[in-house]
Amino acid sequence: MTYPYTNEKLRIIAEQFLTRLKTCSDNKSLEALDIEFLGRHGIIAKLMEELKTLSLEEKRTLGPEINLLKKDLQASLLEKKSALTQQEAAAHAERQKLFDVTAYQPGELFGSLHPATHVVQEIEDVLMSMGFEILDGPEIETEEINFEALNIPKNHPARDMQDTFWLTLPQLLLRTHTSSVEIHAMRSRQPPFAIASAGRTYRHEATDACHDFVFMQCEGLLIDKKVSLSHLFATTKLFLQGIFKKEQIEIRIRPSYFPFVEPGIEIDMSCPFCAKGCSVCKKSNWIEICGAGMVHPHVLRAGGINPEEYSGFAFGFGLTRLIMMKYGINDIRYLHSNKLEFLKQF
């Protein structure tokens, strides 16, 4: 500051400005001060206006002094501004130093993936590595796709085995198995193809520790020329070895019946958890793992595929059971209980 100003008025203005400048702690207050003193209608501008009314003599002494004052105020403002910026940068650097990336807020709740999500991701990885395309099917299904196209006509006794949740809308239901996705796949692609689909299925059943009205299945379907049962055996064995990450897994085949496959079989796997019998395999060393078979010609035809030219295999297994086995969950109802103590473990 060019100090002291000979003119008393200018001296007071300069002092007021400096006092105010000291209290400015951020850019916003600096700007306000700038406008008040140096703005178009500010104090300095007013002094200039007043100058016009003064005598020539006064103009000569006061004019340059006002200009000097203006420059002084501008320079002080700039100085303060850069000081503030530096201060802010230093404070920021200090805060950075104290910032603890390992700190956590106690009591905070963290989300985690549901055990079903873990298992589905693992299974899909294995199936994709084997060349299966992963599909999603609707959970609300038509009677035609869930039953008829899968060779389960009305009044077929197999419908009783799959007590169905019907919607109040005609011919719509909650799918009772993921086999319905087989029909969607066949109707939307040309063979050869291999698809797999995991998801929720619904059956109108009384619930207990082992049964629930909603559970998960995973379906696999492969259609090509000259597909045989041996392809099915090799595929399921490789798949199970992949999921349980264990080479010593054997499979065992039992004849069974499902309307949409012929022949129909059930596949058991050697228990991956024990050598001599445990609670999972109920001391038998074998675990029932899936239903499977060669796709029935009626089903191929319903899917728009010529059974004279193509054949295929399908398998469907209870994913929920697999999840329970993998994590040692002994009550199926936990899986959709929304119990935090349960879910937090995964």
Q: Which is nearer to ligand PHE, 36 or 266 (CB)?
A: 266
- Can you tell me which of 199, 259, 291, 303 binds ligand PHE, judged by CB under 6 A? 291
Q: Contact between 137 and ligand PHE (CB under 6 A)? A: no
Distance separating alpha carbons of residues 263 and 285, to the nearest angstrom: 25
Distance separating alpha carbons of residues 221 and 198, to the nearest angstrom: 12
Q: In this chain, which residue has its C-beta nearest to ligand PHE?
A: 316
Q: Which is nearer to ligand PHE, 194 or 314 (CB)?
A: 314
| Cα 104-107-108 angle, rounded to 5 deg | 65
Order of strands across the sheet that contains 193-202: 133-134, 193-202, 214-224, 311-318, 286-295, 261-270, 251-256
**b/e per residue 132-155 (b: at least 16 CB within 10 A):** beebebeeebbbebbbbbbbbeee
Q: Contact between 292 and ligand PHE (CB under 6 A)? A: yes
CB of 212 to ligand PHE, least distance (A): 14
Q: Which is nearer to ligand PHE, 291 or 303 (CB)?
A: 291
Distance separating alpha carbons of residues 295 and 46, to the nearest angstrom: 96
Distance separating alpha carbons of residues 185 and 278, to the nearest angstrom: 39
Query: Where do we find the tokens 């696999």?
Result: 220
- Can you tell me which of 17, 147, 258, 334 binds ligand PHE, judged by CB under 6 A? 258
**CB 296: neighbour CB atoms within 10 A?**
21
Site for ligand PHE in 201-240 (CB under 6 A): none
Pick the piece of the chain touching ligand PHE (CB under 6 A) from 76-84, 112-120, 131-139, 290-298.
290-298
CB of 326 to ligand PHE, least distance (A): 20
Site for ligand PHE in 144-203 (CB under 6 A): 177, 179
Task: Kindly state the tokens that stand for 97.
Answer: 């130093």
- Can you tell me which of 5, 310, 315, 334 binds ligand PHE, judged by CB under 6 A? 315
CB of 178 to ligand PHE, least distance (A): 7
Q: Which is nearer to ligand PHE, 199 or 316 (CB)?
A: 316
Q: Which is nearer to ligand PHE, 14 or 299 (CB)?
A: 299
Q: Which is nearer to ligand PHE, 177 or 184 (CB)?
A: 177
CB of 333 to ligand PHE, least distance (A): 20
Query: Which amino acid makes up residue 179?
Result: S
CA dihedral 262, 268, 269, 271 (to 10 degrees): 170
Distance separating alpha carbons of residues 52 and 62, to the nearest angstrom: 11
Q: Contact between 334 and ligand PHE (CB under 6 A)? A: no
Q: Which is nearer to ligand PHE, 314 or 335 (CB)?
A: 314
Q: How many residues belong to the site for ligand PHE (CB under 6 A)?
A: 10
Q: Which is nearer to ligand PHE, 218 or 335 (CB)?
A: 218
Nearest one of 290, 293, 312, 285 to 301, comparing CA atoms: 312
3-class state of residue 261 by DSSP: strand
Q: Contact between 314 and ligand PHE (CB under 6 A)? A: yes
Pick the piece of the chain touching ligand PHE (CB under 6 A) from 122-130, 227-235, 287-295, 302-310.
287-295
Task: Kindly state the tokens that stand for 188.
Answer: 């939307």
- Continuous H helices in the chain: 8-23, 27-38, 43-51, 56-98, 115-129, 143-146, 158-161, 180-188, 229-244, 297-302, 319-327, 340-343
3-class state of residue 310 by DSSP: coil
- Can you tell me which of 198, 261, 319, 324 binds ligand PHE, judged by CB under 6 A? 261
Pick the piece of the chain touching ligand PHE (CB under 6 A) from 113-121, 241-249, 291-299, 338-346.
291-299
Residues of this chain that bind ligand PHE (CB under 6 A) = 177, 179, 258, 261, 291-293, 314-316
